[in-house]
Structure 1
Amino acid sequence: MTEFEKMLNGENFNGIDTDLRLRREAARLACAKFNAHPSKGNLRHVTRLFSEFGSVVIEPGFQCDYGSQIHIGERVYINFQCVFLDSAAIHIGNDVLIGPGAHLYTVDHPREADLRAVGHCFARPIHIGNNVWIGGGAKILPGISIGDNAIIAANAIVTRNVETNERYFK
């Protein structure tokens, strides 16, 4: 099984694998084309990476690892300088607002230095419900689910699941 297949299956994978590095480079180039000259025409370089998307506005500065595991609903707004590390699936519901500089991290690394040194990684999906507002600079960590109508404060580091209608201000 390839490292990409392991990653897609939710298994431990080697993040420094050549194929994975090339896939990240392709995503980086697609994002760079859009970020250098933001337009609807150039946005297609980014959205064609995505697994699925409805209607989305993405401001310049967007970065993703692969794009292939990003699922976006309808009427989603992604503000400037957002980063989506999609080694596992990122599901974003409808009517979601994501503030500038927000980061969504699905990938994680072992706590043992010797395993990190040889590229071991694992990833857990992120689920964001409908009508969610994520404030600027927020960081969503691997495996987090955010319920419908939730609000995540600016600069929050989300370390646990957020319930429907909850306000998360940590």
Structure 2
Amino acid sequence: MKTEKEKMLAGEIYQANDPELTQDRKRAKKRCQQINQHDTDDLPGREARLAELMRFKGTFYVEPPLYVDYGYNIHIGDNFYANHGLTILDGAPVVIGNNVFIAPNVVIATAGHPLDKTQRATGEEFVKPITIGDDVWLGAHVTLCPGVTLGNNVVVGAGSTVVHDLPDNSVCVGTPARPVKTLE
């Protein structure tokens, strides 16, 4: 029989209140708290703490505060910048490409709950991976919903909610976000 963590990592319905997952989230919250309170003049120390929480492939800078559910499902490419208030609910993999810039108060949420009220009341949860391509810019207060993929060279306008995949070379805005301009 699979553990709840194994179910989550396999993309199956799972119980988020499972003791192992609860402990993983507590550990990630503690690391986020340490990162958020770390001396801003000690950049190497802050970067080391971030690298313990998430997987980076190159240069990165994350403005505090940062919030994540687990951290171990976040994979970030080279030349990454996140402004204040980034929240990543990473029950499923979050894969972020190279040259990605994130404005303040962006939410990247792989987690969701069943629509059925009885099922939802039991604490069941699902996750779907999120992929962000290279050369992407997410404006302030953007929300990425479970299972979306953003192509390469995508700009998502401030306040947009992404519920469907977005194509390469596009400016996308609205709720739900949709392409309004093609980029070269």
| TM more than 0.5 | yes
Q: 2:60 aligns with which of 56, 60, 71?
A: 56
Q: In 1, are the aligned partners of 2:56 and 2:78 still within 8 Å (CA)?
A: no
Q: Within 5 Å, which residues of 2 pair with 1:1-170?
A: 1-37=2-38, 38=40, 39-40=42-43, 41-170=45-174
What do you get for the CA RMSD once the two structures are aligned?
1.1
The amino acid of 1:29's aligned partner reads K
Matches of 1:24 and 1:81, distance apart in 2: 18
Q: In 2, are the aligned partners of 1:83 and 1:102 still within 8 Å (CA)?
A: yes
- Structure-1-length-normalised TM-score: 0.96
Percent identical: 35
Matches of 1:43 and 1:51, distance apart in 2: 11
- Structure-2-length-normalised TM-score: 0.89
Aligned residues: 170
3-state DSSP of counterpart to 2:53: coil
Matches of 1:54 and 1:106, distance apart in 2: 24
Higher relative contact order (CA 8 A, sep 6+): 1
Matches of 2:50 and 2:78, distance apart in 1: 16
The amino acid of 1:21's aligned partner reads T
The amino acid of 2:21's aligned partner reads L
- Structure 2 segments unaligned to the other structure (5+ residues): 175-184
Which structure has more strand as a fraction of its residues?
2
Q: In 2, are the aligned partners of 1:47 and 1:53 still within 8 Å (CA)?
A: no
Matches of 1:111 and 1:24, distance apart in 2: 24
- Structure 1 segments unaligned to the other structure (5+ residues): none
